[in-house]
Structure 1
Amino acid sequence: MDRLKDKVAIITGAGSGIGLAAARLMSHEGAKVVVADYDAASAEAGARALTEAGGEALPCTVDVTDDTSVGDMVEAAVREYGRLDVLCNHVGGTDPRKDLDLLRLDMDEFGRAVDRNVRSTLIGSRHAVPHMIRGGGGSIINTASVAGLVGDVLQISYGAVKAAVVNITKSIAVQYGPQNIRCNAVAPGAIMTPALLDNLPDEVIEALKGYNALPYLGAPEDIGHTMVFLASDEARYLTGQLLVVDGGMTSQSPAVPGRRAMLPPVE
């Protein structure tokens, strides 16, 4: 219950899914949480849920692609709680209807993908780092994706921008490690978020399970717990790293599902 006691955390995209799960778990561990989201109602609802559960939370409406909006978010956190210890740059994603393969990619969508994933990570970190330095250190946690590690037949923009997030993470870790600021990234695999359920048909979701080493797809809390660890002092010697949380999806050969069917059952 006290792994994040007295720490102040900002989580963007905290109105639903992984961001909300991380907010709940960090609050449960004693953090004061800024629940930041583009949708004001979602931010309000998320913060209210945390306070009703006994935590301290501040709702904040933010456009993570806008420098002024992000600056206002960070200043609101410091004004309310006096410091900033943790920043989760969680907002991202692309529109799967427009982020297709090389020849059919909507180039305007590529620009939006850069803004939502890369620019947002840079802006958030630029505003957070000075306050973390003044506070003696901090932890920045960026949301990447397994899509940034492998090729795919669709969403070429998404893979590209998430790969960029990984490199930005390493650079921030190197540049501000001497000021005791850690920066790590989490690469989720297939997680049962509202976005995944809305964008993938049931048969595709079921097929994805066959490509995991574990027999199920992850829940938002699985990524949230990883973020709690990275925010805590338990991870004080961990920086510049990418933690792949994907149920083993990227660890196995594509031939595994078919070859597994050849095995006799384990008694």
Structure 2
Amino acid sequence: MQGKVAVVTGAGGGIGAACAAEFASRGVAVLLADIDGEAAQKRAAEIASTGAAAYGLQVDVQVEKDVEAMIAEAITRFGRLDILQNNAAATVASQQDDDLTVMDTDLWDLTMAVNLRGPMLGCKYAIPIMIDTGGGVIVNISSGSAVIGEPTRFAYGASKAGLNSMTRSVAARYGKQNIRCVAVMPGITLTDRAREALHGSPWLETMERHHATPRLGRLDDIAKFVAFVASDDAGFITGSVHAVDGGVLSAAPYAAYMREHGTQPF
């Protein structure tokens, strides 16, 4: 991946920041974009301190002019664009996304604007650049909420299902022009925010019980997989959605009971 250029949205922290750092460790120049410009610049400075090329930029992915300027900035600074990682998500909104019958429609619209319109705008402006320079890879960070029914996060799940669909459509339309597009669905990943929210909570034990692996996800689990699918080693992978989730989506809802009791529940 040496010499390639990546743009990562939502890179001020969590999965986005970890992926940006992983790209940089492999010789990729990275533009880190986030609605929190200071956070993006701080993360970029940390990466740059290792000798890698990195730049932080304030970007609201809902705003078309912001996204257009983000792609243009990557070209101005680094001369090309090989990888776009659509990672930014309306995480604060998802915490209020609880009951469809009383949902404020503005919450629905905000979730769709960030989680689905944002990646669409990224693709709109990145794909022509990638085609002109011989191809590229788009990695959309989705969620298991896209493929299962949850009793909450109605807008979030719908937005991520739409993102999975857009992933397949982009791959189908632009694949012959050497554009690959994949989606990644992380499982419960212990970001700083997740650790803080789960500390002392009974949810932590519940989540651990329902994963097939002995532990929950780490940031490098996601970052290393994203780096792989964005690399030439994954050149035959496109239009697909990948669960990197410790097997939580692969198991029946009663799997934890059967593991713990060694028998069927009936």
The TM-score range, normalised by the shorter chain, is over 0.9
Is 1:261 paired with 2:260?
yes
AA at the equivalent of 1:145 = S
Paired residues of 1:88 and 1:141 also in contact (CA < 8 A): yes
Is 1:85 paired with 2:82?
yes
Aligned match of 1:229: 228
Aligned match of 1:40: 37
- Residue 97 of structure 1: how far off its partner (Å): 4.1
SS in 1 for 2:181: strand
Aligned match of 1:11: 8
Match runs of 1:1-267 below 5 Å:
4-94=1-91, 95-200=93-198, 202-263=201-262
SS in 2 for 1:116: helix
AA at the equivalent of 2:244 = V
Provide the C-alpha distance between the structure 1 equivalents of 2:41 and 2:142, rounded to a whole number of angstroms: 26
Structure 2 spans left out of the alignment, 5+ residues: none
- Residue 200 of structure 1: how far off its partner (Å): 4.5
AA at the equivalent of 1:143 = I
Provide the C-alpha distance between the structure 2 equivalents of 1:86 and 1:205, rounded to a whole number of angstroms: 34
SS in 1 for 2:88: coil
RMSD: 1.3
Paired residues of 1:8 and 1:31 also in contact (CA < 8 A): yes
Provide the C-alpha distance between the structure 1 equivalents of 2:32 and 2:125, rounded to a whole number of angstroms: 17
- Residue 231 of structure 1: how far off its partner (Å): 1.1
AA at the equivalent of 2:118 = S
Paired residues of 1:70 and 1:127 also in contact (CA < 8 A): yes
- Residue 15 of structure 1: how far off its partner (Å): 1.0
SS in 2 for 1:210: helix
- Give TM-score scaled by structure 2 length: 0.95
Paired residues of 1:14 and 1:35 also in contact (CA < 8 A): yes
**Stretch moving more, 66-75 or 190-199:** 190-199
Provide the C-alpha distance between the structure 2 equivalents of 1:164 and 1:195, rounded to a whole number of angstroms: 25
Provide the C-alpha distance between the structure 1 equivalents of 2:250 and 2:99, rounded to a whole number of angstroms: 24
Call closer, same or farther: CA 1:97–1:26 in 2, change over 3 Å.
closer
AA at the equivalent of 1:241 = S
SS in 1 for 2:102: coil
SS in 2 for 1:186: strand
Query: What is the number of residues matched between the two proteins?
Result: 261
- The runs of at least 4 aligned residues of structure 1 exceeding 3 Å deviation read 197-201
- Residue 106 of structure 1: how far off its partner (Å): 2.4
Provide the C-alpha distance between the structure 1 equivalents of 2:260 and 2:198, rounded to a whole number of angstroms: 25
Provide the C-alpha distance between the structure 2 equivalents of 1:174 and 1:263, rounded to a whole number of angstroms: 45
AA at the equivalent of 2:261 = M
Paired residues of 1:98 and 1:106 also in contact (CA < 8 A): no
Call closer, same or farther: CA 1:97–1:6 in 2, change over 3 Å.
closer
Provide the C-alpha distance between the structure 2 equivalents of 1:209 and 1:36, rounded to a whole number of angstroms: 32
Provide the C-alpha distance between the structure 2 equivalents of 1:28 and 1:90, rounded to a whole number of angstroms: 19
Structure 1 spans left out of the alignment, 5+ residues: none
- Give TM-score scaled by structure 1 length: 0.94
Q: Percent identity?
A: 36
- Residue 178 of structure 1: how far off its partner (Å): 1.0
- Residue 199 of structure 1: how far off its partner (Å): 4.3
Paired residues of 1:140 and 1:183 also in contact (CA < 8 A): yes
Provide the C-alpha distance between the structure 2 equivalents of 1:206 and 1:93, rounded to a whole number of angstroms: 26
SS in 2 for 1:250: coil
Deviations 1:103-145 (A, max 9, x none): 1322210100000101001000101001100110000000110
